């Protein structure tokens, strides 16, 4: 073998090594969520629009964010189920429709018994100064508080407005859910700054990737 071919071979090997290292890292990262079953619950739907402010209708943006998170978690190896994939609620009756919708979401989650569920909502209030993403948990499952803490701690490093976690055992749906999980109010659409950010694709992607990273961190430690 001539010297120049030998040299070329070494350079080629080095080049191949360099381009293969990031790929290996990516595969290792993906393994963290393999075999994890996660249910994503987009709040509201159908006749129940949720909160509305400016151009944002909560049920619509909840579903957009949920589908982005589904895509991200699936790409990292998780098995993801959605409580709804279109503009509908889960009620099977017109009497006490809201209650029935929430009961059926809880039943959907209990029947699958996932490693984690995440409900996605958007907050709204009469005061436009209120802002910040907030994670809610119940004491029904002992792991839910740690999920709330992990997501909150990680999001604080990634986005500017994050509120402290809040325990809430009063919300009807969550009294029935046995699996670990949380409800994320992803920001106040009644706040002009957050309303603007939440409509931006870049912010949505940052938010969703950060939540997916936090879920991975949780499973790395549990
Ligand atoms: Zn909501």
Cα four-point dihedral sign 94, 98, 99, 101: positive
* Distance from Cα 122 to the centre of ligand 1, integer Å: 5
Residue 100 backbone phi and psi in degrees, to 5: -65, -40
Architecture in CATH for domain 35-221: 3-Layer(aba) Sandwich (3.40)
* Residue 59 burial class via C-beta count within 10 angstroms: exposed 0-12, middle 13-18, buried 19 and up: buried
Segments of the chain with pLDDT less than 70? 1-31
Spatial strand order of the sheet with 166-167 comes to 79-82, 37-42, 116-123, 181-188, 134-137, 166-167
Look at residue 207 in the predicted model and tell me its pLDDT.
98
Look at residue 32 in the predicted model and tell me its pLDDT.
80
* Distance from Cα 72 to the centre of ligand 1, integer Å: 22
Map out the domains of the chain as residue ranges: 1-31, 35-221
Q: What is the pTM of this model?
A: 0.86
Q: Give the bridge partners for 133, in sequence order.
A: 162
* Distance from Cα 107 to the centre of ligand 1, integer Å: 19
* Distance from Cα 187 to the centre of ligand 1, integer Å: 11
């Amino acid at each position: 073998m001539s010297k120049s071919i030998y040299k070329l071979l070494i350079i080629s090997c080095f080049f191949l090594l360099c381009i293969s290292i990031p790929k290996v890292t990516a595969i290792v990262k993906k393994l963290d969520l393999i075999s994890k079953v996660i249910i994503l619950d987009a709040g509201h739907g159908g006749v129940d629009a949720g909160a509305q402010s400016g151009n944002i209708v909560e049920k619509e943006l909840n579903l957009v964010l949920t589908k982005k998170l589904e895509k991200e978690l699936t790409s990292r190896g998780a098995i993801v189920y959605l409580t709804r994939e279109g503009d509908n609620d889960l009620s099977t009756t017109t009497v006490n429709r809201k209650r029935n919708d929430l009961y059926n979401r809880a039943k959907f989650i209990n029947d699958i018994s996932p490693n984690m569920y995440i409900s996605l909502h958007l907050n709204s209030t009469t005061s436009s100064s209120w802002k910040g993403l907030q994670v809610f948990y119940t004491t029904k499952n002992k792991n839910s508080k740690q999920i709330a803490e992990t997501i909150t701690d990680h999001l604080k490093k990634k986005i500017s407005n994050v509120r402290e976690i809040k325990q809430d055992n009063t919300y009807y749906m969550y009294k029935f859910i046995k699996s670990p999980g949380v409800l994320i109010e992803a920001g106040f659409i009644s706040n002009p700054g957050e309303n603007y950010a939440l409509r931006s694709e870049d912010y949505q992607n940052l938010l969703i990737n950060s939540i997916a990273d936090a879920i991975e961190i949780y499973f790395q430690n549990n």
